[in-house]
């Protein structure tokens, strides 16, 4: 029962860890996409800053040329030189250079801000990767624990199946021995309550019969109730009723259950390892004695 509760708790913890792992992976993918978008924006702004910087340099050069030509035209008008005048001077459009510089500075600051966001995204991705490694390690450990518990449960199921089969065999053999005793001694009273301090053990042959032909458990065996009946589903007493020694005794078993047993030859009237008449007039029989019959 304790292993089953631990197995269920580990299974729930395994599911929670799996959900956390999937969430961390989803967050990591979202941050990677956001990082790519921010990087693309930063590259675009960087290109735009370079372009505006080059444009500002060209405008500075054009502004100097415009001022030089305007001074030259003014000097020509004053001195009356040939080819002078406003007609011979190429006029250039005056551009607002301070506004362009201000915009360039603004874009530079925005580029720095985006670069900081990218660095924070990289840091967050590194933290998520570390967390992902930890979650994967926990997932692997839980998987190994679950497999170990599954093996333990399977081993315990095999043990329970073997013990149940042995109990079935023991019940059937005990029923057969009971019928044999009743056939041999109709007035026998069998003492079923054996004291715990008595040192009685089954013989090698009887123990081999207990462990004989343990079937391999199947999936259908788990649905069957673990009742101590015959392995074929028939009660052991009913299965013995049709044998040669069961026909004559089954009719008298009901009336002779409590009949006293006369003392056996050579018995002292006490209870011993080999069997004898007890204080209540019953007989405690060892399995070795019955197996000889």
DSSP conformation letters of 124-173: HHHHHHHHHHHHHHHHHHHHHHHHHHHHHHHHHHHHHHHHHHHHHHHHHH
pLDDT digits (tens, 9 = 90+) for 35-54: 888 888 888 888 888 888 88
pLDDT value at residue 144: 93
Mean pLDDT, the chain, as a whole number?
70
Higher pLDDT, 61 or 113: 113
First to last CA, the chain: 43
Tokens of 117: 């966001």
pTM of the model: 0.39
Cα distance between residue 179 and residue 41, in whole Å: 95
Cα distance between residue 264 and residue 276, in whole Å: 7
Main-chain phi, psi angles of 277, to 5 degrees = -85, 125
């Amino acid at each position: 029962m304790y292993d089953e509760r631990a197995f269920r708790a580990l299974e729930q913890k395994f599911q929670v860890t799996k959900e956390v792992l999937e969430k961390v992976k989803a967050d990591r993918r979202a941050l990677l996409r956001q990082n790519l978008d921010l990087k693309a924006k930063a590259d675009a702004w960087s290109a735009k800053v370079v372009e505006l910087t080059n444009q500002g340099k060209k405008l500075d050069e054009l502004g100097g040329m415009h001022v030089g030509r305007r001074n030259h035209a003014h000097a020509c008008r004053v001195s009356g030189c040939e080819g002078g005048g406003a007609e011979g001077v190429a006029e250039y459009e005056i551009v607002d250079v301070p506004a362009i510089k201000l915009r360039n500075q603004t874009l530079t600051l925005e580029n720095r801000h985006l670069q900081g966001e990218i660095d924070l995204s990289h840091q967050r991705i590194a933290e998520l990767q570390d967390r992902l490694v930890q979650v994967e390690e926990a997932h692997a450990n839980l998987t190994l624990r679950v497999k170990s518990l599954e093996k333990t449960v399977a081993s315990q199921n095999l043990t329970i199946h073997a013990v149940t089969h042995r109990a079935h065999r023991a019940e059937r053999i005990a029923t057969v021995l009971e019928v044999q005793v009743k056939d041999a001694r109709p007035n026998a009273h069998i003492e079923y309550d054996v004291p715990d301090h008595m040192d009685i053990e089954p013989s090698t042959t009887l123990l081999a019969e207990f462990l004989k032909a343990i079937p391999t458990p199947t999936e259908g065996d788990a649905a069957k109730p673990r009742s101590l009946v015959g392995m074929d589903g028939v009660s052991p007493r009913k299965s013995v009723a049709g044998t040669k020694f069961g026909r004559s005794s089954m009719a008298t078993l009901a009336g002779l259950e409590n009949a006293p047993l006369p003392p056996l030859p050579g018995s002292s009237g006490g209870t011993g390892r080999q069997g004898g008449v007890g204080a209540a007039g019953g007989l405690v029989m060892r399995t070795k004695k019955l197996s000889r019959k």
